[in-house]
Amino acid sequence: MSANPPGRSVLRQVFIIKGRIRVNVVVRNIQRTDSAVVAGYKGIGVATVHEAQGRKGLLASYMRPIYRPCHIVGTAVTCEMAPGDNWMLHAAVEQCKKGDILVAAPTSPCEDGYFGELIATQLQTRGVLGLVLEAGCRDVMELTKMQFPVWSKAVFAQGTVKETVGNVNIPIVCAGQLINPGDLIVADDDGIVVVRRKEAADVLRMSVEREEKEAKSRQRYLNGELSLDVNNMRAKLAERGLQWLDNPPED
């Protein structure tokens, strides 16, 4: 491992060895969220998970899927890259396993097309479920045909270089959220949410409870009831000063 080149931007996470030497790393072995817990999230949407864990963990609204419908749940492999440089994506592919989701972000804002069909082919062959990329994606037609889902900040054909090393499997910030290697990622048409590995089992329980509650409410709505009554909103609205009038107020 070599020291960072002169002038390199300060990394979000700095690894220190032998005193003050800064290095870039690829961490091979990470603790992933338990596979049984991950399996429990299948079919549960981002909105439900986000609400169940206290309305936290949601990535920025500009992160959109390149095609719909899509829904994936898996464990994060993280990749920190230099602006306009996708070299570390190639290094990250090797660290991905079946059931992983690759989460990648540059150290400064960039919308260049870091990712396309050739890297996707490698990932899909390894059983990777998808990519979360706070940058640009290209080859959208090919990615859609091969059904490899990508959530990206932009769709942009601008190419990248391979000059600067970064980091794989360290904590990174992606679209406003801290992502740790092995954290649980849920992504669907509504966006992306991250769940801390150690919290995933509890959040799953709360998500299932929320889904069961919503199923009961849905049935009542199908029977013609209103959320105003099902959720006892009328009295609370009246306490806030809301009035129901049979006729419009006079001018």
Mean pLDDT of 20-29: 83
Mean pLDDT of 8-25: 55
Mean pLDDT of 229-247: 95
pLDDT score for 19: 54
* Local confidence band at 15 (pLDDT 50, 70, 90 cut-offs): low
pLDDT per residue as tens digits for the range 172-206: 999 999 999 999 999 999 999 999 999 999 999 99
Examine the pLDDT at 249 and tell me if it is beyond 60: yes
pLDDT score for 250: 81
Say what percent of the chain tops pLDDT 70.
91
Average pLDDT, the chain: 92
Question: Is residue 133 within 8 Å of 114, Cβ to Cβ?
Answer: yes
Q: How far is Cα 198 from Cα 51, in angstroms, rounded to an integer?
A: 18
Examine the pLDDT at 10 and tell me if it is beyond 70: no
H helix runs in 26-101, sequence order: 35-40, 46-52, 87-93
Nearest to 152 by CA among 137, 174, 130, 172: 137
* Local confidence band at 164 (pLDDT 50, 70, 90 cut-offs): very high
pLDDT score for 251: 63
Q: Is 182 left (phi over 0), alpha (psi -120 to 50) or beta?
A: left
Question: Is residue 6 within 8 Å of 156, Cβ to Cβ?
Answer: no
pLDDT score for 12: 41
pLDDT per residue as tens digits for the range 132-146: 999 999 999 999 999
Mean pLDDT of 15-32: 77
pLDDT score for 21: 56
Q: 119 or 18, which is more confident?
A: 119
3-state secondary structure of 117: helix
Nearest to 106 by CA among 75, 128, 81, 131: 81
pLDDT per residue as tens digits for the range 74-125: 999 999 999 999 999 999 999 999 999 999 999 999 999 999 999 999 999 9
